[in-house]
Chains A and B, each alone.
Chain A
Amino acid sequence: DADVTQTPRNRITKTGKRIMLECSQTKGHDRMYWYRQDPGLGLQLIYYSFDVKDINKGEISDGYSVSRQAQAKFSLSLESAIPNQTALYFCATSEGYGQETQYFGPGTRLLVL
């Protein structure tokens, strides 16, 4: 089984809808991250969490919110989806404390019409 899983893998939604992307990990890592990837822009950090009670905004948090339900679960919500949020979304985890390598999930492809 994959260490970092994301659901759904693909999602089509309409402008104004609220949607949630979910991430689960079995690596036992405290640190979890949400990124979006757009062609030509690389990976942009949306939110990150160093533990269940520590959530921080990344470079592009506007229009997004997150919830860290447990060490293993980190959800990303789009409160009112807009077309320019169409992108590939990745969840990642890391051990931290000097072990900075991040491990990525398979991604969620989101299309906002």
Chain B
Amino acid sequence: QKEVEQDPGPLSVPEGAIVSLNCTYSNSAFQYFMWYRQYSRKGPELLMYTYSSGNKEDGRFTAQVDKSSKYISLFIRDSQPSDSATYLCAMEGGSEKLVFGKGTKLTVNP
């Protein structure tokens, strides 16, 4: 079992839809959770960072962590064509190295 599993998609939604992106993990030592957004031919950029279980909201984005289920989610409300990108989850648990999911490619259609 890989440490971090992420459905690669692709995921295609209409503009305005609510998008749910998810990752599961197996290492209970993970305590830092991040979501990165990567546009085509660009480097990943940090979107959300959470430390504990629960929800964290930033504008149209909500990151959710459920440590008991080893499951994290990123919700995008009122999705826009500019949200079209690949979304990578990442986690860290004491090794000071991030473990990344393989990314989910999202397309938001006008």
CA distance A101 to B92 in the complex (A): 9
Report the interface size for chain B: residues with CB under 8 A from the other chain: 21
Whole-angstrom distance between the alpha carbons of A4 and B42 in the complex?
12
The distance from the CB of B39 to the nearest CB of chain A, in whole angstroms, is 11
What mask results when residues 1 to 19 of chain B are scored 1 for a CB within 8 Å of chain A, else 0? 0000000100000000000
Contact B96 A90 (CB under 8 A): no
B97 contacts A104, C-beta separation under 8 Å: no
- Chain B residues with Cβ below 8 Å from A31 are 96
Q: With the chains together, A41 CA to B98 CA distance in Å? A: 15
Could you tell me the distance between the alpha carbons of A109 and B41 in the complex, rounded to whole angstroms?
Answer: 9
Q: Is B70 at the interface (CB under 8 A from chain A)?
A: no
A-B contacts, 26 listed (Cβ < 8 Å): A4-B43, A33-B97, A40-B102, A41-B102, A42-B88, A42-B101, A42-B102, A43-B100, A48-B97, A50-B96, A90-B43, A90-B44, A96-B96, A100-B32, A100-B34, A100-B92, A101-B34, A101-B46, A102-B90, A104-B36, A104-B43, A105-B43, A106-B42, A106-B43, A107-B42, A107-B43
List residues of chain B with CB under 8 Å of any chain A CB: 8, 32, 34, 36, 41-46, 49, 88, 90, 92, 96-98, 100-103
